Structure 1
Amino acid sequence: MPENSTAPVAKVIPKKLKKFGEVRIDNYFWLNDRENPEVIDYLNQENAYYQEKTAHTKDFQKALFEEMKSRIKEDDQSVPYFFNGYYYITRYEKGQNYPIYSRKKESLSAKEEILFNCNEMANDKPYFQLGALSISPDNKLALFSYDIVGRRIYTIQVKNLETNEILDDKIENVTGSAVWANDNKTIFYSDQDDVTLRSDKIFKHKLGSKQTDDVLVYFEKDETFNVEILKSKSRKYLAIESGSTLTTEYQILDADTPDEEFKIFQKRVRGLEYSINHYGDSFYILTNKDKAENFKLMKTSVNKTSKTNWEEVIPHRGDVLLEDIEIFKDFLVLEERENGLNKIRIMPWNGEGEYYLPFESETYTAYATGNVDFDTDVLRYGYQSMTTPSSIIDFNMKTKAKEIKKEQEVLGGKFDKNNYVEERVWATAEDGVRIPISMVYRKGLKKDGANPLLQYAYGSYGHSMDATFSTTRLTLLDRGFIFAIAHIRGGEDLGRQWYEDGKLLKKKNTFTDFIDCSKFLIAEKYTSPQHLYAEGGSAGGLLMGVVVNTAPELYNGVIAQVAFVDVITTMLDDSIPLTTGEYDEWGNPNVREYHDYMLSYSPYDNVLPQKYPNMYVSTGLHDSQVQYWEPAKWVAKLRAVKTDDNVLYLDTNMDAGHGGASGRFEALKELAKEYSFLLDLEKIKD
């Protein structure tokens, strides 16, 4: 399938971009205008080219879609959880794309009350996403938000659950995050800048009033911070969180007195991160105070909240990352990460007999979930591994009795976890650091270099890539693929320092780690360059861009989703959503040292006249996080300078944003495109 003259050619309009006395020439800057008909025409040409060149795989794509869909229990539902007198349930009906939210009063045998049927709300819209869903304290009203474009710009409305009518209150063009005060008539919500989409304002809305009458409660002036409105698990406090990459600040207000002023919990100090949990007469604080890079737990009185009053509960540990906590009347539960694996630690408040939940797999994911009540001995947690479907488990912390409330069903009758092997191996990076890799594959694997292997990673923002189960991944595994997650620096997989060593002026560790993992997998004969594939999205798409510039010979194919590849131009444009808040992650290119470092790896700026792997690049026209023009410009430049005849596809979803298509089955169609790309390159036809 060589590239040929039918491939679109973007016209060249040189634009000079000047910084620090130097000039960059951007031939495709003109693509940065979604209102320009020529831009839309070019994207449509690329889509048509992709469709033409993959026409021979269309039937296979449909078959892959049906295969993946057939494993999913269509009439599925969540494990109910009990909150304020009702059991709440999320369920799906056969053939429907969207969830139905319902509840039952006091008993699971009670009559079901439909709160929201998202299938009816979507109503054939190209895109639909329900955002916030919050029930008033008296259980009579529900506020909800929705996005019908995919740009994460929401509308908030209120439904009367007794009459099913939608109230006249309508709050438009906001973030979609909102909470109730305890008076059942006051709503606090976050708003965003019209241009940058930075969440920068908190408003107060009284039921029955117009949006123009809403009161501005707080405006965040610092352009590197975003704001969010929260409500404590105790339902006693409202909290405004102002956060940047390195710093947090909370303001609190008694939820019973919504017309009073929020008060600072602890004023911001650059580098001080903290989060708060209210229980009884205390706040529990997860924080990095006093250089506790892996975080520690402290507590303070509700009346004395500044950091001079904080007392240590769980000290900092250099080898254990404290990720989160759950508070119960008789127990404190810690979610920790050690040596790259999740651990759940149960600590009775009386100090007698703390213990860890036992997890035996070599690589897995475990997390507390749905614990909305203090007064219970039951911890609800989730567990899965790369061979074990997801389970929701109720664990009695006193008796240690375990009840599996739900295990993910894999339909079709063919799945048996014993047919698969999960493994964790360690690659050595160029600076001697050991990088964990989680893998899954069919039993009977031969290390002969002939196995197709898909290597995935993210490696930014301290986001850890846990080893999870996937029914769709079976489509690759059953056709001989190995799937590998490279836990590279830039994530927080091995603690906070793992993140610090993959950001700012150490960002290149992220890229070289991924390449070194690839070299290890090839050296150990799990695969070979003829059969190795790489995948990443968003900041992971940046990773893909650097990898194909610096080590293209290692990969037969690459999938780059919503790829952040035009690093310098984007980070110099503070009108683009997310830019100013990213300075602590990537660096501020208005500072020469950071500018030059970022320019040295920015994928778009470092495209070379060389051979590149086969590439499938996807994006969304309405993406507010990575603008569509970054992948579009990148592909245009690659077409112009690359020296190979390998395939290069740009596939733009003209109806979606950063998260891709809405609806569970539409997302499978996108995945079928990616899988058919890989399988076609491997000459696997069925």
Structure 2
Amino acid sequence: MTDSTPLPATAPVARTVPHRRVHHGDAFEDGYEWMRDKESPEVLAHLEAENAYTDAVTGHQQPLREAIFDEIRRRTQETDLSVPSRKDDWWYYARTIEGQQYPVYCRVAAAGTGGPGEGSTVADWTPPAVEAGVPVPGEQVLLDGNAEAEGHPFFSVGGAAVTRDGRLYAYAVDTSGDETFTLRIKDLSTGELLPEVIEGVFYGLEFSPDGSRLFYMVADESWRPYQVRVHVLGTGVEQDTVVYQEDDVAQWTGIDLSSDRRWLLVGIGNSEYSETRYLDLEDREALGAPADSLRVLIGRGERVLYSPEFFEHDGATHVLLTHNLPGGPAAAADADGRRATAPNNAVSLAPLAEFAKPLPEQRWATVVPHSETVKVEGISVTASHAILSLRRDTIETVRFAELAPLVEAALAPGGASTASFAEPAFDDELYTAGAGATDYDSPVARLSYTSYFTPPRVYDYVLATGELILRKETPVLGGYDPADYVAERAWATADDGTRVPLSVLRRASVRPDGTNPALVYGYGSYEVSMDPAFAIPRLSLLDRGIVFVIAHVRGGGELGRRWYEAGKKLAKKNTFTDFIAATDWLASSGWADPKRIACMGGSAGGLLIGAVLNLAPEKYAAAVAQVPFVDALTTILDPELPLSALEWEEWGNPIEDPEVYAYMKSYTPYENVHEAPYPTVAAVTSFNDTRVLYVEPAKWVQSLRAATTSGKPVVLKTEMDAGHGGASGRYEAWRDRAWDYAFVADALGATELLA
């Protein structure tokens, strides 16, 4: 909204109800806490009134929203399909169909052999020529998302698994947006659903090798995944067994399979240390009594952050371990049990039998040493190769090494091997290359690749030769030419002298003359990196002359583990001041008019936006906070609220530590709103969000309106049928993005396309 546009309606004013929160002798009066009651008719009425006000204030933006939505749609090949991925004897892929909201998941039988030693060739692993909109002979529909979604305002698939023989297909769906799922099992030979239906399932589904059992996750009342259960097919759900239960409220639990699908891995941990328990799925006796059979690889009491990859070699089980112990298992711990860490991780190898010993007695061989400049994200294996995922100079990429020589060198006398890894070469300066789903027996590795202006590509990397085969580049319609756009690296300087990387995106025709509108985007938490990726909706902003800057602030993972640690707990304020430094760089760079800069972020990035607006509201013309975590202290002080206890490793524990409490209270957005000239603000949330409750932005908006001296509107938009990720259908998601972008473009006076 431009400054001259009058407000067409009166903003809703929520009543205040006295509510005092007292911790560590400090009292906070919160008159809007009553809005936490999701079942209250008054709360629902208030949210609806907020939506009506938002519609009135932003109604003039509707033509711009429609224009952006149409641009997104015109550039998207609506009838399309993914590149088929082979698993066992089938090729799996997903179709999208013009006019339909959700994918249709399909498969077709594979020709040729699939396993090693059976004459398997690259030709056997070459995807079939499946065409968009063209039926494939023998195509089998596993799940039609559109049919499943019929009659529901929201639909999302929370996981799927198929048995090795290809007969049974398990899938979990959410029709409310609260990220709890209903699990069903389909017999693909008949197309019929099995009678068992399991409610209240979380993410994570895995079949046993013989297909007789299905492992799944369950969350507790605070939405923390804490139980691994197993369902024996053909039995009643009430007979399902708890394989593992995690009672520590500060630990997250999940399941996975080893690459060869022999081992069930139960991962427990947080951002600072972890524990893995494992079960041999080929051990029939152990499989029959899994609750007594899980073994611990490295216990959490060792305070090691690690992830394992199990595999077989020469008749024995070995483990490739990505970990943060610089000196290996013999490294001495201090009196408090703390060890020196290799923050960017090393990779070691050891026989599984070594892990039965006390940690200081174990012998590991180094495969990839620790580096201060390269972060090891993880390692996986195929039958023939190791696949290393890493991050270097903010860029995520992959490397490959033959597995047998690597293992043999590591197990040789001396017990150390610095393996030689090959890395594919790519042309872009700023890109993201990641390892995709690769079958264990495949002679090729599936890779995904994208950059800011290169649409997503799918490659197959031939493991034996290093040949890179392009399988598909996602088509972009409407005359898209990547040469029309530029992505560049820039660096801002924070107050403490730290150089903060920026990604600066613009139309090639935009000049640094100090007149351009701009948007700064950031996240900066949980070691999550804002990696280069192509986005069709973003083109609509760039085409209106808006310079789009992604600030890779501390708290993210772009520059390795230390970058993350410098923006968490008692260093969290670095995240906010880095973002302001990025804004200052932009304002002085010539790429933007200092009076035409907006900011945007979501979830923990919404906390970033709220904190930045309290620190420097005058630097921004507008702000969009998507599902914003703006009342973080209230949430984390209540361990009964969703995920609160799990947040202690990110922000600190304000319940027990008065220093953490005081530090958090000094920056959390809701508690630090003050009389100031806040810019035009839109808070966008979802009523059924289980990660950031709607009440946080609802309270924040009321506080902002009461405090702002600018006269600019502050609006709250609540999706009443959505979850943390917003609307579920692709067209609704496009409309949501068009809404956000139109709000920014309107506030910046950048509504017209460049010539």
Output the TM-score relative to the length of structure 2: 0.88
Match of 2:320 in 1: 284
Match of 2:708 in 1: 642
Per-residue CA deviations over 1:593-641 (Å, capped at 9, x if unaligned) read: 1000000001000000111011111000011000000000000111112
Match of 1:583 in 2: 648
**Paired letter, 2:42:** E
Pair 1:169-2:196 in alignment: yes
Match of 1:305 in 2: 355
* 8 Å CA contact retained: 1:237, 1:255: yes
Match of 2:121 in 1: none
Displacement of 1:577 in angstroms is 0.9
* 8 Å CA contact retained: 1:136, 1:180: yes
**Paired letter, 2:364:** W
Distance 2:707 2:101 in 1: 42
1:364 corresponds, among 417, 422, 431, to 431
Displacement of 1:110 in angstroms is 5.0
| SS of alignment partner, residue 732 of structure 2 | helix
Q: How many residues align?
A: 683
| SS of alignment partner, residue 628 of structure 2 | coil
Match of 2:79 in 1: 75
1:469-488 superposed matches below 5 A: 469-488=534-553
Distance 2:51 2:585 in 1: 36
* 8 Å CA contact retained: 2:387, 2:399: yes
* 8 Å CA contact retained: 1:459, 1:539: yes
* 8 Å CA contact retained: 1:2, 1:646: no
Match of 1:178 in 2: 205
2:664 corresponds, among 592, 598, 617, to 598
Distance 2:100 2:587 in 1: 43
* 8 Å CA contact retained: 1:344, 1:367: yes
| SS of alignment partner, residue 705 of structure 2 | helix
Per-residue CA deviations over 1:239-261 (Å, capped at 9, x if unaligned) read: 11112121211111111232132
Pair 1:347-2:398 in alignment: no
Distance 1:32 1:554 in 2: 32
Displacement of 1:142 in angstroms is 0.8
1:274 corresponds, among 279, 299, 306, to 306
Distance 2:46 2:86 in 1: 52
Match of 2:634 in 1: 569
Displacement of 1:541 in angstroms is 0.2
Displacement of 1:375 in angstroms is 4.5
* 8 Å CA contact retained: 1:385, 1:468: yes
Distance 2:190 2:442 in 1: 33
1:265 corresponds, among 294, 297, 321, to 297
1:430 corresponds, among 456, 471, 495, to 495
Displacement of 1:374 in angstroms is 3.9
1:19-58 superposed matches below 5 A: 19-58=23-62
Per-residue CA deviations over 1:338-384 (Å, capped at 9, x if unaligned) read: 221223223334479643222332211111112122441x2221111
Pair 1:401-2:437 in alignment: no
Match of 1:294 in 2: 344
**Paired letter, 2:425:** P
| SS of alignment partner, residue 34 of structure 1 | coil
* 8 Å CA contact retained: 1:2, 1:645: no
Displacement of 1:564 in angstroms is 0.4
**Paired letter, 2:373:** D
Distance 1:168 1:395 in 2: 42
Displacement of 1:394 in angstroms is 1.4
| SS of alignment partner, residue 212 of structure 1 | helix
* 8 Å CA contact retained: 1:577, 1:625: yes
Deviates more, 1:167-176 or 1:487-496: 167-176
Displacement of 1:562 in angstroms is 0.5
Match of 2:124 in 1: none
In structure 2, stretches of 5+ residues that fail to align are: 112-127, 129-135, 327-340, 407-418
The 3 A distance-change label for structure 1 pair 80 and 422 is same
**Paired letter, 1:463:** V
Distance 2:37 2:296 in 1: 42
Distance 2:441 2:395 in 1: 27
Displacement of 1:19 in angstroms is 1.2
Distance 1:270 1:47 in 2: 50
| SS of alignment partner, residue 175 of structure 1 | strand
1:126 corresponds, among 147, 153, 161, to 153
2:138 corresponds, among 86, 111, 131, to 111
| SS of alignment partner, residue 244 of structure 2 | strand
Displacement of 1:573 in angstroms is 0.8
**Paired letter, 2:422:** Y
Per-residue CA deviations over 1:307-357 (Å, capped at 9, x if unaligned) read: 424332211112110012232344323222122122322333447964322
* 8 Å CA contact retained: 2:537, 2:738: no
* 8 Å CA contact retained: 1:467, 1:485: no
**Paired letter, 1:221:** D
| SS of alignment partner, residue 553 of structure 1 | helix
| SS of alignment partner, residue 422 of structure 1 | strand
Displacement of 1:403 in angstroms is 1.5
| SS of alignment partner, residue 473 of structure 1 | helix
Match of 2:119 in 1: none
* 8 Å CA contact retained: 2:9, 2:57: no
The 3 A distance-change label for structure 1 pair 354 and 494 is same
1:443 corresponds, among 508, 514, 528, to 508
1:254 corresponds, among 280, 302, 308, to 280
* 8 Å CA contact retained: 1:170, 1:210: no
**Paired letter, 2:311:** Y
Deviates more, 1:671-680 or 1:660-669: 671-680
Distance 2:45 2:442 in 1: 60
Match of 1:455 in 2: 520
Pair 1:373-2:373 in alignment: no
Displacement of 1:270 in angstroms is 5.3
Distance 1:442 1:4 in 2: 34
**Paired letter, 1:288:** N
Distance 1:584 1:71 in 2: 42
2:234 corresponds, among 208, 219, 222, to 208
The 3 A distance-change label for structure 1 pair 336 and 94 is same
1:498-537 superposed matches below 5 A: 498-537=563-602
Match of 1:618 in 2: 684
The 3 A distance-change label for structure 1 pair 12 and 181 is same
| SS of alignment partner, residue 554 of structure 2 | coil
* 8 Å CA contact retained: 1:88, 1:102: yes
| SS of alignment partner, residue 347 of structure 1 | strand
* 8 Å CA contact retained: 1:155, 1:176: no
The 3 A distance-change label for structure 1 pair 521 and 145 is same
Distance 1:14 1:362 in 2: 55
Distance 2:718 2:739 in 1: 12
